[in-house]
Amino acid sequence: MSAVVIVGAQWGDEGKGKIVDLATEHADVVVRYAGGPNAGHTLVVGNDKLVVRLVPSGILQPHSVCLMGQGMVVDPAVLLTEIEALEQRGIKVQGRLFVSELAHVIMPYHVLIDGLRESGAAQKIGTTKKGIGPCYEDKVARRGIRLGDFRDLDRVRTLLAAAIDAWAPAMKAWSATLPSPDALLDDLAPLAKRLLPLITDTGALLDEAVRANKRVLLEGAQGTLLDIDHGTYPFVTSSSAVAGGACTGAGIGPSRVRRVIGITKAYATRVGEGPFPTELLDEAGTRLRDRGGEFGSVTGRPRRTGWIDLPALRYAARVNGVDGWALTKLDVLTGLDPVRVCVAYDTPSGRTADLPLTELDRCTPVFESLPGWTEPLEDVRTIDALPKNAAALVRLIEDKTGIGADIVSVGPRRDQTIVVRDIFR
């Protein structure tokens, strides 16, 4: 049994792309299981930088087969643009990428509604405006349109008419209008025709791979604290971003998952609205943003930055069943002194080492300060070769969470990585 889940332990943007890319060197099948083009995984290969939003990061490894599971929401135009960009770089996609026939389609009206809401809402979520929320809403309301439906365009026309009807009152309130089903189909049918060869029962392909004892990597998107059930609700995304979501979103039974790797930065970031108790609004925060390149890969928005939150990581370890950490961007902390770490919270009912999820806005983080280091880390390849104070930070994270670091990333390039343990071991 060889399926490994890679999951974000914070608010997304933990550097999953690099870790998945590294892990796929040894993976036969890479599956994305949640979210849609709200994700943006930056892959760095040599001097080349590439952002993939829908296609699993494993696409860069010529031997891997990539699956997009039924838990995802897919914008056909975005997917086709991404495929073209990959092909232009000589990366073969045909025969290597398969998309679930059960994945829901992000329609142009979902994108429109997401934008209208965000521009007028009293309580903004700060979404990526890619239509994610409205598409999942249609899915749960049981009026969504799935990729497999496009095998029968008359069926899609009927489904579009029903969905447009359902959104009509909201559109009226926004003084906006939606195109007719025919107009939508005129645009969508040619896109769907190009995608149909990729659309299949990805769950069956995954099952075949698991039975054949292939190495399967389930690649999370967003992060634990953005999960619809386990995150800082309502400031969350609309999908199941945690490791459990890999089972429903890829179509694999929990008994088939062998290990869960949690990805965390050595500090914290958040994009969009919502509580972020360790946020830094001073020079140290700006420094983290600039040194860490903390600008959204999808929207370009500057990310909010702050110190690492160990109660939050312990929580992420619990809800995901994390077996090992991949600690990323340790190099970004070089030059900061002291380095601070949130180890507990003062809540209205006393101090706790747990994450007070439902009352974060009424709690104060308790920090421990560690001496910083000035040595660059980019050329370090073993834990023992880390500067003493950087190693102490890694140890503190391991000790306070009770989970070891399997990987420590010290730079954006593939080779700028300390591999402590093989994640497929």
Out of 271, 405, 410, 418, point to the residue binding ligand IMP (CB under 6 A). 271
Please tell me whether residue 133 binds ligand IMP under the rule CB under 6 A.
yes
Min. distance of Cβ 425 from ligand IMP in angstroms?
Answer: 28
Please tell me whether residue 314 binds ligand IMP under the rule CB under 6 A.
no
Out of 4, 54, 113, 125, point to the residue binding ligand IMP (CB under 6 A). 125
Report the site for ligand IMP in 357-396 (rule: CB under 6 A).
none
- Nearest alpha-carbon partner for 218 in 24, 40, 47, 412: 24
Kindly tell me which of 130 and 146 has the beta carbon lying closer to ligand IMP. Answer: 130
Report the site for ligand IMP in 9-38 (rule: CB under 6 A).
11-13, 38
Active site residues per annotation: 13, 41
Out of 42, 70, 128, 278, point to the residue binding ligand IMP (CB under 6 A). 128
Kindly tell me which of 129 and 256 has the beta carbon lying closer to ligand IMP. Answer: 129
Inter-residue contact 326 to 407 (CB < 8 Å):
yes
Kindly tell me which of 13 and 101 has the beta carbon lying closer to ligand IMP. Answer: 13
Out of 72, 132, 156, 393, point to the residue binding ligand IMP (CB under 6 A). 132
Give the separation between CA 42 and CA 298, rounded to whole angstroms.
10
- Nearest alpha-carbon partner for 215 in 97, 64, 96, 94: 64
Count of residues engaged in binding ligand IMP, rule: CB under 6 A: 21
Kindly tell me which of 81 and 352 has the beta carbon lying closer to ligand IMP. Answer: 81
Min. distance of Cβ 112 from ligand IMP in angstroms?
Answer: 14
* From 18-26, 121-129, 364-372, 414-422, span contacting ligand IMP (CB under 6 A): 121-129
How many CB atoms sit inside 10 A of residue 347's CB? 15
Kindly tell me which of 2 and 38 has the beta carbon lying closer to ligand IMP. Answer: 38
Please tell me whether residue 39 binds ligand IMP under the rule CB under 6 A.
yes
Residues 6+ apart with CB under 8 A from 200: 98, 99, 100, 101
Give the separation between CA 13 and CA 303, rounded to whole angstroms.
9
Q: Nearest-CB residue to ligand IMP?
A: 272
Say if residue 217 is exposed, middle or buried (CB neighbours under 10 Å; 0-12, 13-18, 19+).
buried
Task: Give residue 20's Cα distance to chain centre.
Answer: 11
Report the site for ligand IMP in 209-268 (rule: CB under 6 A).
221-222, 226, 235, 237-238
Residues 100-119: x where in contact with ligand IMP by CB under 6 A, - otherwise, as a string: --------------------
- Residue 97's DSSP bridge partners are 66
Out of 58, 181, 245, 272, point to the residue binding ligand IMP (CB under 6 A). 272
Please report, as ranges, the residues that interact with ligand IMP according to CB under 6 A.
Answer: 11-13, 38-40, 125-128, 130, 132-133, 221-222, 226, 235, 237-238, 271-272
